Amino acid sequence: MSTENSANVSRRQFITGAATAVAGLTVAPGVFLLKPAAAASGADPATRWGLLIDTNKCADGCTACVRACHEENGVRSMGRPKTDAQWIRKVNLTERETGHQHSLPVMCQHCEDPPCVDVCPTKASFIRPDGVVLVNKHTCIGCRYCMMACPYKARSFIHEPLTDQKPHAPRGKGTVESCTLCVHRIDRGERTTACVEACNKDGHQAMVFGDLNDPESEIARRLREEGSTAIRADLRLNPAVRYQGI
């Protein structure tokens, strides 16, 4: 009888121990291994990086910014337009009343109150202290809720295995991505993005990158003096990408 009892106790202890071990092994990697990935970046909370796009200077048919961005970040077409990632795209507009036509680039608008960050269940979508909205590629589970929530259709889901990614732009199958405002350049101390650089190189000067919080910066000065509009301003998300001429 007593042997049976002790056997029962040890079996119970074994089950409890095994359950604890399994639970520990399941949860521990999530708690410890992923910590470094979430480490705070060196982003400066005093700055807010943004873009100003003058659509009057944006040439119809010119896609220099699109090509430069995708080259910089290793975004390649797989020949399947519906599932290919696009971090930036040229949108052609025709006013219904007047027939007036122009075009402009649209990318992640780096909202101050980003809906993608609100809905992300794992905090993989996040906004840096300097206003750059990013996806943590270590904690994105690929649920695509951020894509449902983004008013700008700015995000892409990686629909196939990728190779030869750029070290500064991590990308991987089953996760969501979008314009990073060339955050690798910002963190290197550079003060331009691939798209702006390409637009200037082609002589259009339609895009300006800079610190919205610095009253002396060109972008802040022009926004102050010339005015601008935001896409879907009605949503009051206060995007860091501003347009002139819409």
**Nearest-approach distance from CB 124 to another protein, in angstroms:** 8
Restricting to residues 2-61, name those near another protein by CB under 8 A: 26-27, 29-31, 34
Binds another protein (CB under 8 A): choice among 161, 167, 215, 227: 161
- Residue 9 or 93 with smaller CB distance to another protein: 93
Restricting to residues 79-118, name those near another protein by CB under 8 A: 80-86, 89-97, 106, 115, 117-118
Binds another protein (CB under 8 A): choice among 231, 239, 242, 244: 231
**Nearest-approach distance from CB 109 to another protein, in angstroms:** 10
Name the residue with tokens 């702006």: 196
Q: How many residues bind another protein (CB under 8 A)?
A: 62
Q: Which residues contact 190 (CB under 8 A, 6 or more apart)?
A: 182
What single-letter amino acid sits at 176?
Answer: V
3-state secondary structure of 127: strand
Restricting to residues 166-225, name those near another protein by CB under 8 A: 173-176
**Nearest-approach distance from CB 176 to another protein, in angstroms:** 7
Chain centroid offset of residue 185 CA: 15
Task: Tell me if 175 sits within 8 A of 140, measured CB to CB.
Answer: yes
The structure tokens listed for 157 are 């889901």
**Nearest-approach distance from CB 243 to another protein, in angstroms:** 10
**Nearest-approach distance from CB 237 to another protein, in angstroms:** 9
- Residue 220 or 243 with smaller CB distance to another protein: 243
**From 43-51, 77-85, 186-194, 208-216, span contacting another protein (CB under 8 A):** 77-85
Rounded CA-CA distance 52/71 in Å is: 22
Rounded CA-CA distance 177/135 in Å is: 6
Residues 121-154: b if buried by 16+ CB within 10 A, e if exposed: eeebbbbbebbbbbbbbebbeeeebbbebbbbeb
The closest of 108, 111, 151 to 127, measured between CA atoms, is 111
The closest of 230, 229, 29 to 111, measured between CA atoms, is 230
**Nearest-approach distance from CB 154 to another protein, in angstroms:** 10
Rounded CA-CA distance 144/33 in Å is: 24
Q: Which residues contact another protein by CB under 8 A? A: 26-27, 29-31, 34, 78, 80-86, 89-97, 106, 115, 117-124, 139-145, 147-153, 155-161, 173-176, 231-232, 235, 246
